[in-house]
Amino acid sequence: MQTMVETRNLRKTYNRPDGSTIEAVKGVNLEIRQGEIFSLLGPNGAGKTTTISMISGLVEPTEGDATIGGHSITAEPMAAKRLMGFVPQEIALYPELSARQNLAFFGRMYGLGGKALNRRVDELLEFVDLADRQNDRIDTFSGGMKRRINLVAGLLNSPPLIYMDEPTVGIDPQSRRRILDTVKLLRDEQDMTVLYTTHLMEEAQELSDRVAIIDHGEIIAMGTQDELTQQVGEEDRLEFTIGEQEIAETLFERIQQKTPGVTRVLYNPTEQLSDDSSESVPALMTVFAKRGRTALPQILQELDSAGVEIQSVTVREPDLEAVFLALTGRALRD
Partner 1 sequence: MRSILTIILNDLKIFFSQRGNLLGLLVIPVLLTLVVGWSIGQIGGGGPTRLRVDLIDLDRSAMSAQMIEDLRAANDALVLCPLDNDAEDFCRLGEEPLHLERAIERARSGRTSALIVIPAGYADALENFERTAVGFYSLSDPMQPDPVLQSLNAVLQRASTASMIPGVAGALLDNLTSAAQLPPIEGAARNSFLRALYSRSQQLLTDRPSPVSFRVADSNGDSSSVIDNGFNQSAPGMGSLYVMFTVLGGMAVLLRERRQWTLQRLIALPLSRAQILGAKIGVYFTLGMIQYAIVFAVGAAVGMEFGSSPFAFLAVMAAFVLCITALTFALAPWIKSEGQASGLVLLLSLSLAPLGGAWWPLEIVPDFMQTIGHISPVAWAMDAFHDLIWYNGRFPDVLPEIAVLVAAAAVLFAIGIRSFKYE
Contacts to partner 1 by CB under 8 A: 53, 56-59, 77-78, 81-82, 84, 86, 88-97, 101, 105-106, 108-110, 153
| Three-state SS at 138 | helix
Question: What minimum distance in Å lies between the beta carbon of 55 and partner 1?
Answer: 10
We find the least distance from the C-beta atom of residue 169 to partner 1, in angstroms, to be: 13
Q: Which is nearer to partner 1, 10 or 251 (CB)?
A: 10
Query: Pairing state of beta strands 283-289 and 280-281?
Result: unpaired
CB of 101 to partner 1, least distance (A): 8
Q: Which of 180, 217, 204 is nearest to 319 (CA)?
A: 204
Q: Are 269 and 222 in contact (CB under 8 A)?
A: no
C-beta of 151 vs 228, nearer to partner 1:
151
CB of 157 to partner 1, least distance (A): 9
CB of 199 to partner 1, least distance (A): 19
CA distances from 298 to 36, 200, 261, 294 (A): 44, 32, 11, 8
What phi and psi values does residue 162 have, to the nearest 5 degrees? -135, 135
Looking at beta carbons only, is 61 or 88 nearer to partner 1? 88
**Pick 112 or 251: Cβ nearer partner 1:** 112
Contact present, 236 and 292 (Cβ < 8 Å): yes
Q: Residue 62 to residues 98, 108, 286, 310: CA-CA distances in angstroms?
A: 38, 32, 39, 49
Query: In this complex, which beta carbon is closest to partner 1, that of residue 110 or of residue 127?
Result: 110
Closer CB to partner 1, residue 34 or residue 101?
101
Q: How far is the CB of 115 from partner 1 (least distance, A)?
A: 17
Closest CA to 68 of 86, 55, 53: 55
